[in-house]
């Protein structure tokens, strides 16, 4: 697209403001024309960007002749509903993860994209990281046939907004698996290809949900969020097997007993093993920089790649959107990837329900002793 993409940011929570609006306002390929949020702060935010930026309370004020793209970063339970309204009006949508909370919502998004003729794009930036791209290139070039992938994102402290919508399953759709796990599954997807998972089992636990000391202080200017609790997990562990026979061991943890946050992606192939150690996300509790190694026949060597500042993957994702908007073949692609992701999340949660019930039973028995 030769002229800047006219964009509206829908939702002015932490992600809308800190991740997307701040970047869009300075990116030369975009021009922010509207912000949408029912809060009184919307007008202040709009005026801070520029005198001609509209402050709207509802997406009904948006139309194709006003915007070329709506970036939707509302709370999880509103993702699909808001995106469907925009798509049916012919407005392309970039939708923050989780794109949907269940398979039924994925079907609704697919129908809305078809009916409105507008493009749906999915927000999940991990695959755009420089170190993840280097891992993918090393895998393609050096590892032969992929046999197994270990992937984990473990925070030391990072339960988001305990007591708020993030930790209420009816509003969030789930805990660490829906939140961090979506990024992990999105990282695995380009490695294994567009295949479904034949097997998916998992466990969940919530040992840190009620501890304010394990909250996301970095989302609150250094102040710990209020203690709260909730009915979602802070940790999910899963074992998956694809149609092609690749196994995937996945762990997503908002909080743990570790001192620092870390992310590990280890890909085992017929010709070697590639291991990436880094830290996804914005938390300051980081376990150093990124390190990528290749191991073959007992010898481990470092793989060089360009270092980048925290959050650069979000800028890189924005760089790619104008070309995607102009590509007719992109329509339907995000929905198909979303279907595979939400299907495996649903199956992991389904297999973990007995473990959740057992935890509740133990709690009740313990309270009666």
Instruction: Give the distance from CA 263 to its chain's centroid.
Output: 14
Position 85 in a domain: yes
State pLDDT tens for residues 170-183: 999 999 999 999 99
The DSSP bridge partners found for residue 120 are 93
Which of 40-44, 183-187, 223-227, 313-317 bottoms out in mean pLDDT, i.e. has the lowest?
Answer: 223-227
- Whether the CB-CB separation of 129 and 183 falls below 8 Å is answered with no
Rounded (5°) CA angle 100-225-279: 60
Q: Which of 125, 143, 159 is the last residue of a domain?
A: 125
- Whether the CB-CB separation of 68 and 7 falls below 8 Å is answered with yes
Give the CA diameter of the chain.
71
State pLDDT tens for residues 244-297: 999 999 999 999 999 999 999 999 999 999 999 999 999 888 988 999 999 999
The verdict on 132 and 26 lying in the same domain is: no
> Would the pLDDT of 355 be above 90?
no
Position 330 in a domain: no
Instruction: Give the distance from CA 308 to its chain's centroid.
Output: 19
Position 363 in a domain: no
Contact residues for 245 (Cβ-Cβ < 8 A; gap 6+) = none
Q: Which of 181, 185, 201, 200 is nearest to 254 (CA)?
A: 181
Q: What whole-number percentage of the chain has pLDDT above 90? A: 80
User: Which pLDDT does position 366 carry in this prediction?
Assistant: 46
**Residue 255 maps to which CATH number?**
3.30.360.10
State if pTM tops 0.85: yes
- Whether the CB-CB separation of 302 and 293 falls below 8 Å is answered with yes
Residues 159 and 163: their CA atoms lie apart, in Å, by 10
Using only the alpha carbons of the chain, give its radius of gyration: 21
The verdict on 160 and 301 lying in the same domain is: yes
Instruction: Give the distance from CA 132 to its chain's centroid.
Output: 15
The verdict on 239 and 140 lying in the same domain is: yes
User: Which pLDDT does position 215 carry in this prediction?
Assistant: 60
The verdict on 161 and 283 lying in the same domain is: yes
> Would the pLDDT of 163 be above 80?
no
Token pair in block for residue 3: 């002229």
**Residue 98 maps to which CATH number?**
3.40.50.720
Q: How many CB atoms are closer than 10 A to CB 100?
A: 27
- Whether the CB-CB separation of 256 and 155 falls below 8 Å is answered with yes
The verdict on 116 and 142 lying in the same domain is: no
Q: Which of 298, 315, 332 is the last residue of a domain?
A: 315
Q: Which of 125, 141, 170 is the last residue of a domain?
A: 125
Domain count, the chain: 2
Token pair in block for residue 239: 């074992």
The verdict on 104 and 84 lying in the same domain is: yes
Q: Is the dihedral of CA 204, 349, 282, 309 positive or negative?
A: positive
User: Which pLDDT does position 362 carry in this prediction?
Assistant: 44
Q: What whole-number percentage of the chain has pLDDT above 70? A: 89
The verdict on 143 and 185 lying in the same domain is: yes
Q: Which of 346, 342, 359 is nearest to 122 (CA)?
A: 342
Position 333 in a domain: no
- Whether the CB-CB separation of 275 and 292 falls below 8 Å is answered with yes
Checking 341-344 for CB contacts under 8 A at 24+ apart, the result is 341/99, 341/182, 341/185, 341/186, 341/189, 342/98, 342/99, 342/100, 342/101, 342/102, 342/103, 342/105, 342/106, 343/103, 343/196, 343/197, 344/185, 344/197, 344/200, 344/238, 344/240
The verdict on 166 and 292 lying in the same domain is: yes
Q: Which helix (H) or strand (E) is 48 found in, with range?
A: helix 41-49
The verdict on 190 and 297 lying in the same domain is: yes
The verdict on 148 and 297 lying in the same domain is: yes
Question: Domain limits at 45?
Answer: 5-125
Residue 346's alpha-carbon distances to 70, 83, 197, 209, 337, in angstroms, are 27, 21, 12, 21, 14
């Amino acid at each position: 697209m030769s002229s800047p993409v006219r964009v509206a940011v829908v939702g002015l929570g932490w992600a809308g403001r800190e991740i997307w609006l701040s970047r869009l306002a300075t990116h030369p390929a975009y021009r922010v024309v509207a912000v949408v949020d029912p809060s009184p702060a919307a007008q202040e935010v709009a005026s801070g960007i520029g005198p001609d930026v509209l402050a709207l309370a509802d997406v009904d004020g948006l139309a194709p002749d006003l915007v070329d793209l709506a970036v939707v970063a509302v709370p999880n339970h509103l993702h699909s509903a808001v995106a469907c309204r925009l798509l049916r009006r012919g407005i392309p949508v970039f939708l923050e993860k989780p794109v949907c909370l269940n398979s039924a919502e994925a079907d609704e998004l697919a129908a809305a994209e078809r009916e409105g003729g507008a493009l749906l794009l999915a927000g999940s930036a991990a695959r755009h990281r420089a170190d993840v791209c280097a891992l993918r290139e090393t895998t393609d070039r050096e590892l032969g046939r992929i046999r197994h992938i270990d992937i984990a994102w473990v925070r030391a402290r990072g339960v988001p907004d305990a007591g708020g919508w993030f930790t209420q399953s009816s509003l969030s759709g789930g805990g660490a698996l829906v939140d961090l796990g979506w990024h992990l599954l999105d990282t695995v997807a380009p490695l294994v290809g567009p295949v479904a998972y034949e097997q998916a089992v998992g466990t969940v636990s919530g040992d840190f949900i009620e501890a304010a000391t394990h909250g996301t202080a970095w989302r609150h200017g250094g102040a710990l969020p209020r203690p709260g609790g909730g009915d979602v997990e802070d940790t999910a562990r899963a074992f998956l097997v694809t149609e092609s026979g690749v196994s995937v061991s996945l762990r997503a943890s908002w909080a743990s007993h570790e001192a620092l946050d870390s992310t590990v992606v280890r890909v085992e192939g017929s010709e070697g093993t590639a291991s990436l150690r880094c830290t996804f996300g914005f938390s300051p509790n980081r376990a150093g920089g990124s390190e990528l190694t290749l191991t073959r026949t007992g010898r481990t060597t470092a793989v060089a790649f360009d270092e980048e500042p925290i959050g650069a993957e979000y800028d890189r994702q924005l760089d790619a959107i104008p070309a995607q908007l102009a590509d007719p073949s992109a329509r339907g692609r995000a929905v198909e990837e979303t279907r595979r992701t939400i299907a495996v999340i649903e199956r992991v949660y389904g297999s973990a329900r007995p473990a959740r019930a057992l935890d509740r039973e133990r709690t009740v028995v313990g309270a009666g002793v």
